Structure 1
Amino acid sequence: MKIELNGKRAIVTGSTKGIGLAIAKGLALSGADVIINGRSRESVEHASEELKKATGKAVQSFVGDLSLAQDCTKLTETFPSVDILVNNLGIFGERDFYDTGDDVWEQFFETNIMSGVRLSRNLTPSMIKKGWGRVIFISSESAFNIPSEMIHYGVTKTALLALSRGLAKRLAGTGVTVNAVLPGPTLSDGMIEQLQDDIKKNGKTLDQAARDYVMRMRPSSILQRPTTTDEVANMVVYIASQQASGTTGASIRVDGGVIDSI
Structure 2
Amino acid sequence: MTAVDFEAFVERLANVAGEAVMPFFRTSIGVENKAGRGFDPVTAADHAGEAAMRQLIKVTFPNHGVIGEEFGSEGDGAEYVWVLDPIDGTRGFITGLPTWGTLIGLLKSGAPVYGMMSQPFTKERFFGDGGSARYRGPLGDRRLRTRPCATIEQAIMSATSPRIFTGDDLTAFERLEAVTRTTRYGGDCYAYCMLAAGQIDLVVETDLKPYDIVALIPIIEGAGGVVTDWNGGPASNGGRVIAAGDKRVHAAAMEILNKA
TM-score normalised by structure 2 residue count: 0.28
Structure scoring higher RCO (CA < 8 A, sep ≥ 6) equals 1
Write 1 or 2 for the structure with the bigger share of strand.
2
TM-score normalised by structure 1 residue count: 0.28
